Amino acid sequence: MTKVDFYILPSADPSARLDFACKLVEKAWRMGHSIYLHCSDAAQREDLDARLWAFKGESFVPHGPAENEPEGLIVLGLGNDCGPHQDLLVNLDLKVPAFAQRFARVAEVVVEDPAIRQAARESFRFYREQGYPLQDHRLQRL
């Protein structure tokens, strides 16, 4: 069954979600996971793409858009199709994607922005009602 982790960041800045997602993806990739980053829109995906190239000077995290590299180890996707991925889903949308249950793990990244917190509460309720094992990680610093 899919395990769901909520990472609660000590920031109200929505861009902190993307910065944290970069760190999470790098760590998961180095541990051998394949990662599907589900973005809310094209602008967020472009922003995340740029951050993945620059977030850590000495690090390279291979990634690309799902349309170009559907079977890549780290793909940035939009919409309702996650391709063949089923290892780790990093959800940066404000709603649970319909394909979330296909993944072994789901990471939800939450900041103190009211809209994002409310969406996270609704996602938490949804996952709990579906019986998914839930874990929250309250980070003290970024």
Instruction: Quickly count: other Cβ atoms within 10 Å of residue 125's Cβ.
Output: 10
Does residue 61 lie within any of the structural domains? Answer: yes
Q: For the domain that residue 99 is a member of, what is the CATH number?
A: 3.40.50.10110
Which candidate, 10, 9, 33, 3, places its Cα nearest to that of 21?
9
Structural domain of 105: 1-136
In 19-48, which positions are buried (b, 16+ CB within 10 angstroms) versus exposed (e)? bbbbebbbebbeeeebbbbbbeeeebbeeb
pLDDT tens column, 81-131:
999 999 999 999 999 999 999 999 999 999 999 999 999 999 999 999 999
Whether the CB-CB separation of 106 and 53 falls below 8 Å is answered with: no
pLDDT tens column, 37-76:
999 999 999 999 999 988 877 777 889 999 998 889 999 9
Does residue 122 lie within any of the structural domains? Answer: yes
- Please enumerate in sequence order all residues whose Cβ is within 8 A of that of 11, keeping only pairs 6 or more positions apart, or say none: 111, 112, 142
Does residue 84 lie within any of the structural domains? Answer: yes
